[in-house]
């Protein structure tokens, strides 16, 4: 049973994280460094793990992002835009790989490894190859309609090119500001006596979430695609029992078979499944005109992930954009569906964070000392 001090601690942590979330997601002006936010978030997570009765449905550990600003039009995400669970150590990565292997009953798993862009999550909707809508992640279910602003981002294709483009396509990715552009923007702000931005992430988010698209157009933004909203559209016919509801709701795949095994194509007892891979999906996105990270790799097992992490940690300072870690995703799309999701994040992916690099110029006094 939690005692009073646990109850008070959980409530203080929730209140502080709520406030930091609002400053970060809604106002684009963080008041504490990310590492400090992450430390408090982990504390709340372990308190809630120890005393589940302390967990509230609206706890920051159960939710994604922040409320969309009412000044923007609102857009519902047909497939929720979730967050990612974090790994902060090699032990966390080994545990992630073990969970995936156990969940899939496999000896070794291939992972698509990518940089974790430190920017703003965006969803772009294309109808017959034409960009028709762009939205922020918002609270994961409802995002902000920033279509006009996104049209000003020069490397976002307004019309897709190439073969086999699905008639309806949701592309997900991150809007960032390149480091060199950020330095130049802040130099301009300084010269004009205007407020400088804290870091490229907040400059990107603040620039995109402008009510006047003309302001966004003057800001150098860049989009990296890292996935699609509904991977089932690209995967073979087959769905595992217990796959996330949204896949069923989309009606893309047949309902699971009663024995809970793979629901195979009609009348065929055990057809071989063509596997489709996230890494291939990324190649297709690049072919249709999206910018994707060149620093992508497919690696096997926890040892492979550790090698990728070391490589990217060494390359980090030379990259033209900020990253706050790397992301590992089970590469096989059917395996992804089988692993599914927990409340705010997929089970098939994890963000392996780098140690903090950032220093904020104005930092709120941290009042939750636990």
Residues 294 and 284: their CA atoms lie apart, in Å, by 14
Closest C-alpha among 117, 156, 159 to residue 134: 156
Catalytic: which of 116, 163, 195, 214?
116
The CA-to-CA distance between both ends of the chain, in Å, stands at 19
Length of the chain: 370
Residues 329 and 331: their CA atoms lie apart, in Å, by 6
Q: How far is the CB of 32 from ligand NAD (least distance, A)?
A: 5
Secondary structure letter of residue 52 according to DSSP: G
Element (H, E) at 149: helix 147-151
Please give the residues from 112 up to 151 whose contact with ligand NAD meets the rule CB under 6 A.
114, 116-117, 121, 137
**Binding characters for ligand NAD, 216-235, by CB under 6 A (x = yes):** ----------x---------
Q: Which of 10, 37, 198, 243 binds ligand NAD (CB under 6 A)?
A: 37
The 10 Å Cβ neighbour count of residue 232 is: 25
Per CB under 6 A, 20 contacts ligand NAD: yes
The 10 Å Cβ neighbour count of residue 291 is: 15
Beta-ladder partners of 222: 176
Secondary structure letter of residue 215 according to DSSP: H
Q: Which among 18-26, 143-151, 253-261, 335-343 is the span making contact with ligand NAD, rule CB under 6 A?
A: 18-26
**Binding characters for ligand NAD, 83-102, by CB under 6 A (x = yes):** xx------------------
Please give the residues from 331 up to 370 whose contact with ligand NAD meets the rule CB under 6 A.
351
**Which residues contribute to the annotated binding site for NAD(+)?**
34-38, 83-84, 114, 137, 174, 329, 353
**Residues recognised as catalytic:** 116
Residues that bind ligand NAD (CB under 6 A): 20-21, 23-24, 30, 32-34, 37-38, 64-65, 83-84, 114, 116-117, 121, 137, 174, 226, 327, 351
């Amino acid at each position: 049973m939690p005692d009073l001090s646990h109850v008070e601690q959980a409530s203080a942590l929730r209140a502080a994280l709520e406030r930091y979330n609002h400053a970060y997601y809604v106002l684009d002006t963080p008041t504490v460094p990310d590492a400090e936010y992450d430390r408090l978030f982990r504390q709340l997570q372990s308190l809630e793990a120890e005393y589940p009765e302390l967990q509230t449905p609206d706890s920051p550990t159960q939710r994604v992002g922040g409320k969309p600003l009412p000044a923007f039009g609102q857009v519902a995400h047909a497939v929720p835009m979730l967050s990612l669970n974090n790994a902060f150590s090699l032990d966390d990565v080994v545990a992630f790989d073990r969970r995936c292997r156990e969940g899939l009953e496999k000896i070794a798993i291939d992972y698509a490894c990518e940089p974790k862009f430190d920017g703003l999550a965006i969803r772009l909707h294309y109808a017959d190859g034409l960009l028709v809508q762009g939205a922020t992640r918002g609270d994961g279910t409802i995002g902000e309609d920033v279509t006009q602003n996104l049209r000003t981002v020069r490397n976002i294709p307004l019309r897709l090119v190439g073969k086999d483009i699905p008639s309806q396509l949701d592309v997900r990715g991150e809007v960032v500001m390149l480091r060199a552009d950020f330095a130049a923007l802040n130099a301009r702000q300084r010269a004009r006596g205007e407020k400088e931005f804290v870091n490229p992430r907040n400059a990107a988010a603040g620039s995109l979430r402008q009510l006047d698209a003309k302001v966004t157009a003057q800001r150098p933004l860049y989009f990296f695609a890292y996935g699609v909203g509904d991977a089932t559209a690209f995967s073979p016919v087959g769905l595992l029992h217990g796959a996330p509801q949204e896949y069923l709701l989309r009606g893309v795949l047949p309902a699971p078979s009663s024995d809970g095994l793979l629901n195979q194509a009609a009348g065929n007892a055990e057809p071989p499944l063509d596997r489709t891979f996230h890494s291939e999906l990324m190649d297709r996105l690049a072919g249709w005109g999206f910018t994707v990270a060149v620093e992508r790799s497919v690696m096997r097992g926890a040892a492979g992930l550790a090698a990728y992490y070391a490589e990217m940690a060494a390359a980090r300072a030379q990259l033209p954009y900020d990253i706050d870690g790397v992301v590992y995703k089970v590469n096989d799309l059917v395996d992804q569906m089988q692993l599914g999701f927990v409340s705010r994040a997929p089970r098939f992916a994890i963000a392996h964070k780098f140690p903090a690099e950032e220093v904020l110029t104005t930092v709120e006094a941290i009042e939750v000392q636990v």
